[in-house]
Amino acid sequence: MQLNGEQRELFHKSLLSAFPYISNLRQMVDFKLDKNLNAIAMGENHSDIVFKLIKWAEAEGKVEKLLTAARESNSGNLE
């Protein structure tokens, strides 16, 4: 599944809102995707890491899996 720019931006904002700390995002990626966030998405700041995570998911065909994992890990977040 490939995202268009608007979808990618919305997903980016949603992930930043759902996982306001990199440590929470790192745990979700480890627990739900069985991946090391540092190995797939290093960046200068939180926003950059989330962007690179989304680009990795697109390249690996894991967008739906990332979306599902984020939703399951933070079901209380409305974004």
| Residue scoring higher pLDDT (2 or 67) | 67
pLDDT at 41: 95
Average pLDDT value over all residues in the chain: 93
Q: 10 Å Cβ neighbour count for 60? A: 13
Find, among 32, 44, 34, the residue nearest to 72 by Cα.
Answer: 32
Q: Distance between CA atoms of 22 and 73, rounded to whole angstroms?
A: 14
Is residue 75 predicted with pLDDT exceeding 70?
no
**Cβ contacts of 43 within 8 Å, gap of 6 or more:** 49, 51, 52
pLDDT at 22: 95
One-letter amino acid of 68: T
